[in-house]
Amino acid sequence: MKHDTTLRGAVHADRQHDSALKHVRGLAEYTDDIPEPAGTLHAYLGVSDVTHATMHGLDLSSVLAAPGVIGVITAADIPGVNDISPTGRHDEPVFPTERIEYHGQPLFAVIAETRDAARRAATLAAVDCTPLPHALDPVSAQQAGYPHVTDPLKLERGDIGALEQAPHRLKGRMALGGQDHMYLEGQIAFAIPGEDEDVTVHCSTQHPSEAQHMVAHVLGVPSNAVTVNVRRMGGGFGGKESQMNLFAVVAAMAAKRWNRPVKIRPDRDQDMTATGKRHDFVIDYDVAFDDQGRIQAVDGTFAARCGWSSDLSGPVTDRALFHADNAYFYPNVRLQSRPMKTNTVSNTAFRGFGGPQGVVAAERMIEEIAYALGKDPLEIRKANFYGDASDGRDLTPYHQQVTDNIIARVVAELETSSDYQQRRADVLTFNAQHDILRKGIALTPVKFGISFTATHYNQAGALLHVYSDGSIALNHGGTEMGQGLNTKVAQVVADAFQVDFERIKITKTTTEKVPNTSATAASSGSDLNGMAALDAAEQIRARLVAFAAERWGVAPEQVRFLPNHVQVGEHLLRFEELVKAAYMARIHLSAAGFYKTPDIHWDRASGKGRPFYYHAYGASCSEVTIDTLTGEYRIDRTDILHDVGRSLNPVLDRGQVEGAFVQGMGWLTTEELWWDTAGRLRTHAPSTYKIPLASDRPRIFNVALAEWSENRERTIKRSKAVGEPPFMLGISVLEALSMAVASVADYRECPRLDAPATPERILMAVDRLAGLA
């Protein structure tokens, strides 16, 4: 019997996103596309117009009298606990009762017949309050004596006294701006009441289980009364990990109170003012080094603008310290975090989760050393790379041994493929011959640790059904936000059964099917959920093998899965034939899979452990041109070589690398968050907050995956995470801009650009260095 040996959808092969056609044709359904049942109500948030104040009362009479208004919800109407803190610190009320902590803080919700009616009525409240002094950034917060929002962390190894003994030493300060998530689909929740205590919430969240627990917590009901569904999101980037909690609980409270479906969808302005962003940092560094540029000691303090509550600031500032070494070995090191409370929106997760801020600090120190010694920064980078156990240069500041180090090979290959040395010589020649236009080029590395630093989050579940006709339904705890997670996990299942991808139906993420899931974050979506799905597939496959061996009287080793077929001794069956026979023999064709990441541990109190299962590596080379009269610039060319292990889906991974680079570049160049002195966020819409456009991408953009790489750890098909690590490749643009500015003073001084390096900042730096020329 002949059979088709071609498998459509195997792993380690290009396959388009499972929803790609639906995306471009407008057929992909998001939360706001769900048909609204008759009687659906709409909610909108009423927010503060002061930055810091003592609350005395709310007069909502005008709100209630507005056309179309059904009612309002305040803190007094919360049936359960008035808290949505994701870390259990109980410092984040749904609505405040005593103190307003930032401009734009939600104070109540309006429920009305239409969204427009709710939105208009929300502006009519009268708030009785007494204004208080406020602090908007980590420096002013420290000066005002503000507390930390969570316990700070210290990482220490070696003798920091080595700072005093090295031939060279320098100190500096760098300010790093935050970043808005600017997801295409904004925050949204749609709650439908059920019988008894039940409520179903459709929402755009990266963490359905947390949304479920928060809704139950606020309603005062058990988690089994709340179902949270997520088919897909229109982007997340971390902004829907904990920030969705507020919208989910408001919709659920209103739905249960009025026993009608309730939808809440803020407009973009309120979405940006009421939800957290990437943490701003002010970083003080003190670095000692020898004549060759080898670092001898580092002392760093990382003060973060955390906002009014802790949210996820603890693990974010921790990860900033974890990555303050980037790819470099520090013989003696002390790193300390300062998670400062400020009177701004509570900052939250964002792609990289604090890691990019730490990596930028490492690259700034490398850059400083290079200018101090008159050397190429790449030379200093290579001199400080991690080594291995043989040279004793393999221990991180948190005492984890780096056992998978491939950064030297990645950088060497990119240095050759990008023709870095010749192009740097050409840049130096160009700058010597031109006054107005100046060029810069930089090659920067990335080493990024993969795992949740909260060890208990490193687990996942999956539910797999094989139906009697051979079709397969897949459900797992991860969420799809455009990154292709569902496609990759389905490929894993297709490979396990050796069936075509099209045979698998990917179903929505729901707390009804897979409980106690972790957020789709920390770049762990494929690692965790792929392994859980594989576990489920292997359980069913083992049952099929045992059944076939018994039915046809062969050894289990003689049962082989072939493309869409199963070889049982001399018998060749179509996959669906074997499944049908197994069903008729009452073989269980469903399985719940589970996976937990092995060999990780972390003791925060001592600052020691193995928080990361493995590291992902990459490197980027960028060339830029600046106009010294205006500060404007363009990215001429970028070459990237990135390590994703044995890629599950190379075309999706390349897309992730490209998108992450552009988003990282935007963070460091055009995306500026600005609060006025009154504490109002002024960059709260696309008209004032500038993300990169298609025209801002590098004119020449070469992206390659390190096809020779294979994860040494037993990850899903030996692949590596790709969500966050390439975000830091955008740092090469900031470093290239710095070189272009430094040329004005003949490269004698580090420009010390703060980020984002907007054209205004570039121009001011040029003017400052021109005065030194």
Question: 106, 58 in Cβ contact below 8 A?
Answer: no
Contacts of 695 (CB under 8 A, 6+ apart): none
Q: Tell me the two tokens of residue 479.
A: 């969420």
HSE-up of 326 (CA within 13 Å, CB side)?
27
Phi, psi of 521 (to 5 degrees): -160, 180
Contacts of 131 (CB under 8 A, 6+ apart): 50, 51, 52, 53
Edge-to-edge, what's the strand order for the sheet holding 590-596?
504-506, 472-476, 459-466, 590-596
User: From the CB of residue 14, how many other CB atoms can be counted at a distance below 10 Å?
Assistant: 11
Pick the catalytic residue from 724, 735, 749, 760: 724
Amino acid at 101: E
Beta bridge partners of 745: none
Amino acid at 573: L
Question: 112, 118 in Cβ contact below 8 A?
Answer: yes
Asked about 156 being catalytic, the answer comes back as: no
Residue 275 CA from chain centroid, whole number: 15
Question: 652, 488 in Cβ contact below 8 A?
Answer: yes
HSE-up of 272 (CA within 13 Å, CB side)?
24
**DSSP sequence for 453-506:** SSGGG-EEEEEEEE-TTS-EEEEES---SSS-HHHHHHHHHHHHHT--GGGEEE
CA-CA-CA-CA torsion sign (48, 49, 52, 57): negative
563 class by beta-carbon count within 10 Å (0-12 exposed, 13-18 middle, 19+ buried): middle
**DSSP sequence for 302-334:** EEEEEESS-TTHHHHHHHHHHTTTTTB--SSEE
Edge-to-edge, what's the strand order for the sheet holding 126-131?
99-100, 53-59, 126-131
Question: 73, 253 in Cβ contact below 8 A?
Answer: yes
User: From the CB of residue 209, how many other CB atoms can be counted at a distance below 10 Å?
Assistant: 19
Nearest-5° Cα angle at 13, 8 to 14: 90
**Rounded to whole angstroms, how far apart are CA atoms 534 and 546?**
18
**Rounded to whole angstroms, how far apart are CA atoms 81 and 246?**
13
Question: 648, 533 in Cβ contact below 8 A?
Answer: no
Element (H, E) at 83: none
Element (H, E) at 370: helix 355-373
Phi, psi of 18 (to 5 degrees): -60, -25
Element (H, E) at 520: none
DSSP character for 770? H
**Rounded to whole angstroms, how far apart are CA atoms 713 and 365?**
31
- By annotation, the residues acting in catalysis are 724
